Structure 1
Amino acid sequence: MSLSSLSAWAETTLSPWQVRAGASLIVPKSDNGSIIGHAADITIDNRTGPTVNLAYFITPNWAIDLLGGLAFKHQINVNGSRAGETKHLPPILSLQYHFRPEATLRPFVGVGLNYTAFVDEKLDSGDKLKLDDSWGPALQAGLDYAIDNHWTIGADVRYARINTKVRINGNDVGDVDVNPTVYSINVGYRF
């Protein structure tokens, strides 16, 4: 059996499932918007946390990928000073195209949908803060390094569109664009 046919045989025996575990840095855009008649400028800090991906390969080149993790906690600043905090859970479902799935270096791109749920919103003033959930598009580019047929080390960057309506004590005070760039590193296993 030749090396190329052995490689092809190994590829056909792999499961379509891949799991990745790693860490992600969420970097919201630097100017998130204004509320209360544009009198208050809002910014949201960066946060790092553990994430997991579950991918299903439809073909060797095409995969459906779900990014998830624990809720990320972010500090909310108004006019440069801490005003409160929130947690958000931003799973992203993507359709990925893997350019060279048989190579050692495996670049890929993805396009998908982000759903963000905000929880535990708090203002330091004691006023009641409510941030609406958000749906939006997401983009991705990444690179995996294959250690062997099953194990990879990878990195990717994603952009997600997140816009939320802000309510304080039940009153609508404006919208905030979070729109983070998400930088991830991971270790993957193809079953």
Structure 2
Amino acid sequence: MDKKIVARAAAAVLLAGCAVSASAQKAGTWFGGVGATRIAPNTESGNLSPPAATNTQVDVGADTQPTFFVGYMLTDNWSVEIPIGFGFEHDINGAGGIAGTGRIGTTKVLPVSAFVQYRFLEPTARFRPYVLGGITYAYFYGESGSAALNALNPANPPGGTSIDVDKRFGWSLGLGMTYAINERWFIDAHYARTWLRTTTTLNSGQKIDTKLDPDVWTVGVGYRF
């Protein structure tokens, strides 16, 4: 067989493997999917206001939960995406001068986010990296203090110390990629950092400021309509 024919056939197979139907990724396409998201705060804690032990700080733990997402291709390269979750629960642990005391409270959070994405390469590309930016509203709820917090707090009120975490806006930047399994189905993965600060108030009147700045990892499987 002619070597040129073999080379052309091999090139055609390679191109077929690297491309999908343009109709699946072009402007006007809706997409959605399901996956898992891990939120891991990078906690930098202030000190609890008096009366409190010296250097009383906190560290906030990570959580992983199933999530959904839905999006729309505004152009062949620009898209918008809305992640949909049902809440995450984070342990609040002692740090600084009270490190080693373990969990002193918990809080739930429902992050309400909207992302704009710029997707590189052509709509026919099977692999498309992208950058993203957006805004997140962190809706904290279901906060509770622990017996350890009651024991540590010199201003512990009758009935125990309760906590309230302020709901705040933050902004996000990140990187991601999609890989088309076929014309409709795809795999999506992205990482984002959200810049977020909040204040926690105890029912004793004490306050503590915390920078959370979580890393957010999401992996999912999606479908284009």
Above 0.5 in TM-score?
yes
| Alignment deviations for residues 30-86 of structure 1 (CA, whole Å, 9 cap, x no partner) | 434432267212101111111111111111111111112011001001223210100
Distance 1:77 1:157 in 2: 25
Change (3 A) 1:153 1:32: farther
Distance 1:146 1:77 in 2: 41
Tell me which protein shows more helix as a share of its residues.
2
Q: Please state how far the C-alpha of 1:12 moved relative to its aligned partner.
A: 8.1
| Matching residue within 110, 113, 118 for 1:92 | 113
Change (3 A) 1:186 1:172: same
Tell me which protein shows more strand as a share of its residues.
1
Distance 1:111 1:104 in 2: 23
| Matching residue within 151, 159, 162 for 2:193 | 159
Structure 2: runs of 5+ lacking an equivalent: 1-14, 151-159
- Please say if 1:19 is aligned against 2:53: no
Change (3 A) 1:56 1:171: same
Q: Which moved more, 1:147-156 or 1:168-177?
A: 168-177
- Please say if 1:169 is aligned against 2:203: yes
Provide the TM-score with structure 1 as the length reference.
Answer: 0.89
Structure with higher Rg: it is 2
Q: Which moved more, 1:101-110 or 1:167-176?
A: 167-176
Structure 1: runs of 5+ lacking an equivalent: none
Q: Which moved more, 1:164-173 or 1:119-128?
A: 164-173
Amino acid paired to 1:111: G
| Matching residue within 121, 137, 160 for 1:115 | 137
Distance 1:28 1:13 in 2: 35
- Please say if 1:63 is aligned against 2:85: no
RMSD (Å), alpha carbons: 2.3
Q: Which moved more, 1:107-116 or 1:23-32?
A: 23-32
Amino acid paired to 1:42: V
